[in-house]
Amino acid sequence: MAATVARMTKHELKEIIESTVEQKLLELLGDPDQGLVLKKTVKDRLLRQQKAVASGQRGESLAVIAKRLGLG
């Protein structure tokens, strides 16, 4: 294992650690949304957003939103 880790890039090691931590957190905490019903309005909005992103549309930039909220 040490030889394998020694040959990994920093990015590869980071991905493995992130994946392992995420798996362990899900194992310990579970999915807090499991069993909940998604409202039709929320589902419709998510589907619209998914189609918009798939067609290349993007929302407002973080900088624009931060400025509007007086955060930047």
Q: Encode pLDDT of 18-58 as tens digits.
A: 999 999 998 999 888 889 999 999 999 999 999 998 999 88
Q: Please tell me the predicted confidence (pLDDT) of residue 59.
A: 84
What ranges do the domains of the chain cover?
Answer: 1-32, 37-72
Give mean pLDDT, residues 8-21. Answer: 94
Whether the CB-CB separation of 48 and 57 falls below 8 Å is answered with no
Q: Please tell me the predicted confidence (pLDDT) of residue 14.
A: 95
Residue 13 has pLDDT above 90, yes or no: yes
> Count of H helices and E strands in the chain?
4, 0
